[in-house]
Structure 1
Amino acid sequence: MSKPFLGVGVGFPISLDTKGDFQIAEYEESVRQSIVIILGTAKGERAMRPDFGCSIYDLVFEPNSPATAGKVSQAIQEALLFFEPRIDVIDVRVQSPIPEQMLVNIDYQVRATNNVFNLVYPFYLEGSAG
């Protein structure tokens, strides 16, 4: 089913398909990749858009605690509200399976289709590489 209103763009990470063309991300996959790009970009990282991104990277050296989990959840909700207008965030839950990692479960609804999706985003604390 064609959903051009959700957008089409070069896939992330950039790669080539079997014909040598850029891999394309369409529709809901385009939305998912946009969320990953927003969350993977620290505020101030883009020279021409210093406001773009998510402030979770200000929390890298915070302790793995319920307070930090709340700050991570809030930062993600704010970033998605400002930079991904195609979705409504339903819920953001943070789990800590190991001391240096938080798993962020994001439930979101694509506004144009009302389809609900879930994305699990790993966030590493204390500067660990994971």
Structure 2
Amino acid sequence: MALAFPFGIDSRGRSREVYDDVHIRDMIEQVLFTVPGERVNRPDFGCGLLQLAFAPNNDALAAAVQMTVQGSLQQWLGELIEVEAVQVESLDARLSVTVQYIVRRDRERQLARFSRGLA
């Protein structure tokens, strides 16, 4: 069990906890949507995905975003997961990211989808 993200209080008045698989998914979300420089004690944490959302949409940018996301996930979570595939789509004012990964602890394959409004 690990602390939930975002932090919250459960019905017993204690810190809310989640199972390890949910915690790993939460950590992936933090890496994806944290802008480098946003965290005081870890200024290089994150991947800058949201900064790239307003760049012109073309194949070169899509490839660069996928490589950036995959590299950041490997850097920050490489001891926990093995990233197999990343797909990033920007439609209107929404950014969608799909990450396929294997949890190293039990070799279980997972698929996680994340979405953020840009407006």
> If the length of structure 1 is used for normalisation, what is the TM-score?
0.80
| Residue 90 (str. 1) matches residue 90 (str. 2) | no
Contact 1:92 1:107 in 2 (8 A): yes
Aligned to 1:25: 18
Contact 2:80 2:105 in 1 (8 A): yes
Please report how far the alpha carbon of residue 20 of structure 1 lies from its aligned counterpart in structure 2 after TM superposition.
Answer: 1.2
Secondary structure of the corresponding residue to residue 85 of structure 2 = strand
**Among 81, 84, 104, the residue aligned to 1:111:** 104
Q: Which runs of 5+ in 1 are unaligned?
A: 1-7
Q: Which runs of 5+ in 2 are unaligned?
A: none
After the TM superposition, list the runs of 4 or more consecutive aligned residues in structure 1 that deviate by more than 6 angstroms: none
| Residue 72 (str. 1) matches residue 72 (str. 2) | no
Distance 1:62 1:74 in 2: 16
| Residue 60 (str. 1) matches residue 57 (str. 2) | no
Distance 1:47 1:62 in 2: 26
Contact 2:2 2:20 in 1 (8 A): no
Please report how far the alpha carbon of residue 123 of structure 1 lies from its aligned counterpart in structure 2 after TM superposition.
Answer: 5.0
Identity among equivalent positions (%) equals: 31
Contact 2:33 2:48 in 1 (8 A): no
Distance 1:29 1:45 in 2: 23
Distance 1:121 1:68 in 2: 19
- Aligned pair count reads 118
Question: Relative to 1, partners in 2 of residues 1:82 and 1:49: Cα closer, same or farther, differing over 3 Å?
Answer: same
Distance 1:62 1:95 in 2: 12
